[in-house]
Structure 1
Amino acid sequence: MFESLGLTDRTITVYRECLQNPRLLNQTGFSELGEKLELPADEVAAEIDHLRNLGLVVPRWNIADEEYPLHPSVAFERLAARRQQEIDDLAANLKNDQVAANQFVADYSDFLVERTARDIEVLEGRERAHQRMQDFQPTKSSWGMVPASKIPSGKPSESPDQPLLERGIDTRYLFPESGLKIREIREVCEHLVEYGAKVRTAASVPMRLIIFDGDTAVMGIDPDDTSVGAVVHHSKAVVRLAQELFLHYWKHADDPFSDGPSNSREISSQEAEFLSLLVQGATDEQVGRKLGVSMRTVRRMAAKLSEQVGASGRFELGVRAAQRGWVK
């Protein structure tokens, strides 16, 4: 009942007996108090010490070596005041600790932001991203993965990457097949190849990605909208992941400017990608967007392949293509 004041039931029982018979508060009275309460004398002495510490048993001011139990009204008021002070002190300490904890969290957050800021640059807007790109001066390599809608065109001699090639930088470009079917873009690529660039094509390219010197990766904030801006990653983990992605596509890509023997497979990589998307249930619109081609080209491709395998519909085309091993 009085636990909040630091009193146990046994302590209250001893205190009550002392109030009713103060003479028990002497060494000879401990034995009588113990017998009455059925407690060992040492436990009675311990309870009396506890009452002294709580201020419920105090020395008489006019009689030496004699004690008496404090009146309950005064005793409980003092105990409550002492406990309230302890609570107030605890609350004040807790508040100070909360302030310190909040500062600790803020300092740690600042550390994370500072660390992240060193690893990531967020370039909002196309113009800011373009300006930042001019700052990169790779000394070893420049690898670029460019979707169909982002392939640069213009006069071949005006390519911003020509200075890199003149310095002997390992420059690689990975484009979708559909891009090189555009005369202006193919002319730019042919010009770059003449200067030593390596160009390969894949059925589709997932995103715009540029890797400088194997330690910086630049990619769009929104892969479908370059106007949003770009993100520059410097962390080893992200750059390594970007390199693995690029090399995976590079390994399976075609070299459209190779002087070697032509590809003898039955279908092109673009057609293989079309069939893969088809069996996944992609719509014509999704296929066209993925391959970077028009709806007309998608339908023409479907018609050509259907005629090639003797299929009368999209489902049958997918089945027969799988039977021929065209779909992995």
Structure 2
Amino acid sequence: MFDSSGLTEELLAVYRTLLQKPELGRGSRLSELAAELHQTENETARDLQTLRELGFLVPSWIEGVEYPLDPSLTFGRLAARRQQEIEALSNELRSDQLAADRFTADLANFLVQRTTRDVEILEGRALANQRMQRFKPKKSIWGINQADRVVNMDPHVLPDRPHLERGIEIRYLYSEAFWKRPGAPEFVHLLTSLGGTVRIAPSVPFRLVIFDDESAVMGIDPDDHTVGAVVHHSRAVVRLAMELFLSMWDRAMDPLNEERWAKEGGINAQEAEFLRLLVHGATDEQVARKLGVSMRTVRRIAAKLSEQVGASGRFELGVRGGSAGVGGLAPVPGSGW
């Protein structure tokens, strides 16, 4: 029962015998003590040495004689020593726990810092705009832009002008609705005259700006850019953003070289995109956002196409529009949709 303290049953047997027969504590009577314990003399001598180390045996004032201390004293000392060992172990455990906590905290801090570097959340349009101004691209700016209102802009204060003058490649992709806004053609001519490139797609999914091949900025809420933006620095996310951009870019058209995007007897690219979104179950609100047009324009397109194929409702128009070549509604070659 005291094995953890080093006091085995064999040692207790020796101690008990000496307590009961203290005369056997004389060194000259080692053989008698061994016989009493049914041990060899070497085994008994070894046990006696252990009891001395534990403080259970002390020498007497008579030379060659040692006696066992009273059990209340010996076990009290043993308990005190064990308590010290327990306290020392507790201190070691606390120290280890503190070290483990520091290690865990350092790792968590590293992960948080890494996450912070990989993702920036910019709540509100003002904060997002401030962050955009701090980007210092070295190679390129690629942007998917929705059809915002276009205003007359002084060529000398064009925000992209300093980038273009430094040789930064700028590619902007807009929806067809943007090209139809007042001032849009003038803006595109100005940007291209400075070295930028603009292409037009029937619709765009959301705002996206890629700086070099290192950062991708997109809206927190794709349906409401005023909520703010998220800046991704993760290589995986940036790569996905670049693949999306290039896929749309390759299918888009140069508005300065393509005068018409429709085929005689068919439909234009915007109308083809309307049908594609309709077939995929988009609501009128989603169609309006992706095309960059008003709800009134969406209803006008729907009415025109329905009349063209004799569809009596939205569902029937979607079904007919999803069938290639039905009613002359096949998408125009070159529109990419």
TM-score range, shorter chain: 0.7 to 0.9
1:255 is matched with which residue?
254
SS of residue in 1 equivalent to 2:183 = helix
* Match of residue 200 from structure 1: 199
Within 5 A, what are the aligned runs for 1:185-224? 185-224=184-223
> For 1:153, which of 150, 154, 161 is the aligned residue?
150
Q: Which amino acid aligns with 1:153?
A: V
Question: Partners in 1 of 2:247 and 2:203 — Cα distance?
Answer: 13
Distance 1:133 1:291 in 2: 25
Cα pair distance change 1:313/1:18, threshold 3 Å: farther
Cα distance in structure 1, aligned partners of 2:179 and 2:112 = 42
1:261 to 1:305, Cα distance in 2 relative to 1, 3 A: closer
Instruction: Give matches, 1:274-285, under 5 Å.
Output: 274-285=274-285
The corresponding residue for 2:292 is 292
Distance across 2 between alignment mates of 1:40 and 1:278: 100
With over 3 angstroms needed to count, the CA separation of the structure-2 counterparts of 1:33 and 1:297, relative to structure 1, is farther
Alpha-carbon offset, residue 8 of structure 1: 4.8
The 1:264–1:194 alpha-carbon spacing in structure 2 relative to 1, beyond 3 Å, is farther
Q: Is the 8 A contact 2:151 2:183 kept in 1?
A: yes
State the shift of 1:207 in Å: 3.0
| 1:90 counterpart residue number | 89
1:122·1:231 contact (CA, 8 Å) conserved in 2? yes
Task: Show the 5 A alignment for 1:1-328.
Answer: 1-2=1-2, 5-8=5-8, 11-13=11-13, 15-22=15-22, 27-29=30-32, 31-35=34-38, 50-55=50-55, 57-112=56-111, 123=122, 125-148=124-147, 151=148, 153-158=150-155, 159-234=158-233, 236-259=235-258, 262=261, 264=263, 266-324=266-324
The number of residues matched between the two structures is 322
Percent identity of equivalent pairs = 55
Q: Supply the distance in 1 between the matched residues of 2:288 and 2:297 (Cα, whole angstroms).
A: 8
Question: Cα gap change, 1:287/1:17 in structure 2, threshold over 3 Å: closer, same or farther?
Answer: farther
Distance in structure 1 (CA, Å) of the matches to 2:257 and 2:11: 98
Q: TM-score, normalised by structure 1?
A: 0.75
Letter in 2 for 1:170: E
Q: CA deviation at 1:5?
A: 4.5
In structure 2, give the amino acid aligned to 1:284: D
What are the Cα deviations for residues 118-165 of structure 1, in whole angstroms up to 9, with x where unaligned? Answer: 5565555444443443444544322111123xx352114443224444
- In 1, distance between residues paired with 2:222 and 2:187? 23
Change (3 A) 1:58 1:12: closer
TM-score, scaled relative to structure 2: 0.74
Cα RMSD, aligned residues only: 3.9
SS in structure 1 opposite 2:102?
helix
Runs of 5+ consecutive residues of structure 1 not aligned to the other structure = none
CA shift in 2, pair 1:157/1:60, >3 Å: same
- Cα distance in 2 between the residues matched to 1:176 and 1:46: 95
The answer (yes or no) to whether the contact 2:206–2:290 under 8 Å persists in 1 is no
The alpha carbon displacement at 1:173 in A equals 0.6
